[in-house]
Amino acid sequence: MKRGAVIGIAAGAVALVAAAGVGWWLLSRPPTAEQTAETYLRALSEGDAETIRGLLNEPPGGFDEIAAAFEGADSYIETYEFDDVGDDGGVRADVVIDGEPGVVFFILAADESGRFVLNGDYLALLDTATTIGDSVRVGDVLMPAGRVSLLPAVYTVAAAPSDLVEGSTTVALTNAEPATAAVEASVSPDALATIEEQLGGYIADCTKTATAVPEHCGIRVPWAADLATLDSLAFRVDSAPVLALAPDARAFAATGGVLVATATGTKRDGSAGTFTYRADDWALRGTVTFTGDTMTLSVG
């Protein structure tokens, strides 16, 4: 009886181990296509870029920016539902986004391990444009203006540089068809103050004591009418030029300055001489360019 008891216990143990093994095998099977579709749509609704990254066999180039923009989106799809996964792996999900109905399409395919991953055109296309500069911020990520790929969500598209240029628009983006976001941008009051500060520094450099008339400063001193050679020029700014931007913010003009220049040198008879000149129409002109997150003034 002891032997029988031992055998029975051993057999029961084997049976339990076998049953546990079957349970482990069932739990370790890859999610079905329907389960993967549900996981993806839930991640879209929760702004969960990392889960979406995990559903990619190999994230495309630039996915870090796509993920960052997605995480900085205004909001996400509010509800979703789909019937089934097609024989080709295609899924059509009816969603509500920004309070309006929409459609999200994507394709699933099994990888070498049998796991279903996102395949094909799951990203949405957005064509961006801005009236100032060459870049915009999408979900607080700086991107070149033009066509960009994003995950479906509601995004604010803002002009850049964001601390110098104002203007934004909002777009509820699905991948049913390409969308457009055109930003009507304008230079902010802070930008004007920054330009004036930069221009003030430039004027200070232009009016340092020099041995020649400084270039690209809008300064003309006719010292050659009175001196044979010039030893030094000293400047006094009685009134700084007043800044104005062109309506399209592509050019600037600082006009109405009053500048006094004192030239010291040798006259034609060989004696030392000092002469003073005054300009009541001193002006600086140039271009303004916005590239990425940078504003550059170029004096002509």
50-75 confidence digits (pLDDT tens): 999 999 988 877 899 999 999 999 99
Percentage of residues in the chain with pLDDT exceeding 70?
Answer: 91
- Alpha-carbon distances, residue 266 vs 153, 222, 228, 273 (angstroms): 74, 14, 6, 6
pLDDT tens per residue across span 137-166: 998 899 999 999 999 999 999 999 988 999
Average pLDDT for 16-39:
67
pLDDT of residue 291 exceeding 50, the answer is: yes
Q: Residue 161, preceding bond cis, omega within 30 degrees? A: yes
- Residue 47 in tokens: 């702004």
Cβ atoms of 32 and 40 within 8 Å: the answer is: no
Cβ atoms of 132 and 249 within 8 Å: the answer is: yes
CATH architecture of 33-186: Roll (3.10)
Q: How far apart are CA 215 and CA 300, in angstroms?
A: 10
pLDDT of residue 16 exceeding 60, the answer is: no
CATH 3.10.450 residue ranges of the chain are 33-186
